[in-house]
Amino acid sequence: MITIENLSKSFESGGKKIWAVKDVNIHINKGEIFGIIGLSGAGKSTLIRCLNRLEEPTEGKITIDGVNITNLNKKELRSVRKDIGMIFQHFNLLSQKTVYENIAFPLELDGSNKNEIDSRVNTLLEYVELVDKRDAYPSSLSGGQKQRVAIARALANNPKILLSDEGTSALDPKTTKSILELLNRIRKEFGLTIVLITHQMEVVKDICDKVAIIENGEIIETNTALELFRNPKTKTAKTFISSLKSNVDEESIIPEQFDGKVIRLSFLGNSAREPIVSKMINQFNIEVNILSGNINELISTCVGYLILELSGEDEEVAKAIDYLKNQNVNVEVI
Ligand SMILES: Nc1ncnc2c1ncn2[C@@H]1O[C@H](COP(=O)(O)OP(=O)(O)OP(=O)(O)O)[C@@H](O)[C@H]1O
Ligand SMILES: [Mg+2]
């Protein structure tokens, strides 16, 4: 659906060249919710804005539905842009226009007639549950309501792709959840592909199928959300995961400080709920100390990890590790 190849973008600033995006390669499938996570200044907005050429790439190629959009002229670009809706952190609604008029605006630009506009806007208002705010102005709406209007507006032209640049960053946790639920419903019901930029791991956990981590303009890790939580490779990924409220910082565990063997187990789906550890304690003559652990519920399944210290005779410890390896859990001695 979307292929980004060797994409780079530089800016000139004070006579200096800054590479905001460096040699990025990403493939996004149809119907996927693809998250791009990174810290402030990592290049997230620049990258996502290249996808609809709000920002002109310096180098590289972006293919959407088989069309190389980096080569399009203005007219061709306008038609491709109808297929790409976008929402922003600060909603970007027109303050002088009512909710109805904001949603109608892209349809007017597209030359739809009054009846078509009326029927489409009313359908969208029902979809985002804002029928009663039809004639309200943005200033009288809550953040969540404003983002619902922005989503309805982004959907007005029936796009195939929705881009979200920190679409939930200005919202409280409960409102964030409700907006993410709405995005997931849109993906399911309309088969939209959603590219979502965020600096919050919560968002990745709640909604993303796949995720890329961007740092200093470069993608340093890409994986399914599941594998990323199960087996983060880079320090940045680990830090993002431990930023989730319920997590203990895994990085703070130094195996050398323990007498026993320190192991990291990662579980997937139902095995996360099975009492594997208590069975192991019963079967082998070892002592087990739990150093850290967590279960995260992702959109598709749940993943968990547990860091344990195993003490006892070497042979018993080795047998216990073998036992774990046969239980559908990933075991890593750290
Ligand atoms: N128009 C511009 N001119 C010069 N430099 C820019 C411009 N836009 C972005 N940059 C620089 O490019 C880098 C990446 O910026 P970008 O806005 O893409 O980051 P971001 O990951 O979206 O950050 P945030 O989370 O704060 O929104 C930064 O160093 C920024 O200063
Ligand atoms: Mg940004």
48-52, 256-260, 270-274, 329-333, range with the lowest pLDDT:
270-274
Which of 11, 47, 58, when mutated, tests ligand 1's pocket best, judged by the most ligand atoms within 8 Å of its CB?
A: 11
pLDDT over 80 (residue 323): yes
Cβ proximity of 193 and 162 under 8 Å: yes
Mean pLDDT (whole number) for 21-49: 96
pLDDT over 60 (residue 246): no
Q: What is the mean pLDDT of the chain?
A: 91
Instruction: From the CA of 46, give the closest atom in ligand 1.
Output: 18
* Secondary structure element (H or E) that encloses residue 236, with its range: helix 235-242
Instruction: From the CA of 12, give the closest atom in ligand 1.
Output: 4
The model's pLDDT over 140-186, given as tens digits with 9 standing for 90+, comes to 999 999 999 999 999 999 999 999 999 999 998 899 999 999 999 99
Cβ proximity of 89 and 73 under 8 Å: no
Residues framing ligand 1 (Cβ under 6 A): 11, 13, 18, 20, 38, 40-46, 199
CA of 185 to the centre of ligand 2 (A): 25
Cβ proximity of 265 and 305 under 8 Å: yes
pLDDT over 60 (residue 247): no
pLDDT over 80 (residue 101): yes
Q: Which of 154, 146, 165 is nearest to 38 (CA)?
A: 165
CA of 44 to the centre of ligand 2 (A): 5
Instruction: From the CA of 45, give the closest atom in ligand 1.
Output: 22
CA torsion 181-182-188-192 (nearest 10°) is -130
CA of 88 to the centre of ligand 2 (A): 9
Q: What pLDDT is stored for residue 326 in this prediction? A: 87
pLDDT over 90 (residue 230): no
Which protein residue has the closest C-alpha to ligand 1 atom 18? 43
Q: What pLDDT is stored for residue 176 in this prediction? A: 93
The model's pLDDT over 55-90, given as tens digits with 9 standing for 90+, comes to 999 999 999 999 999 989 989 998 899 999 999 999
Cα–Cα distance for residue pair 106/83, rounded to 1 Å: 12
CA of 224 to the centre of ligand 2 (A): 23
CA of 40 to the centre of ligand 1 (A): 8
Q: Which ligand is nearest to the CA of 37?
A: 1
Which protein residue has the closest C-alpha to ligand 1 atom 13? 20
Whole-prediction pTM: 0.82
CA torsion 84-88-92-97 (nearest 10°) is 60
Q: What pLDDT is stored for residue 97 in this prediction? A: 97
pLDDT over 90 (residue 274): no
- DSSP state letter for 252: G
Instruction: From the CA of 43, give the closest atom in ligand 1.
Output: 18
Which protein residue has the closest C-alpha to ligand 1 atom 5? 11
Instruction: From the CA of 89, give the closest atom in ligand 1.
Output: 27
Q: Which ligand is nearest to the CA of 20?
A: 1
Q: What is the 3-state secondary structure (H, E, C) of 97-113?
A: CCHHHHHHHHHHHCCCC
Q: Which of 23, 245, 52, 72 is nearest to 165 (CA)?
A: 52
Q: What pLDDT is stored for residue 305 in this prediction? A: 81
pLDDT over 90 (residue 48): yes
Mean pLDDT (whole number) for 94-121: 96
First to last CA, the chain: 39
Q: What pLDDT is stored for residue 290 in this prediction? A: 82
* Secondary structure element (H or E) that encloses residue 18, with its range: strand 16-28
How far are the Cα atoms of 44, 168, 203 from residue 199, in angstroms, in the given order? 9, 10, 8
Q: What pLDDT is stored for residue 221 in this prediction? A: 97
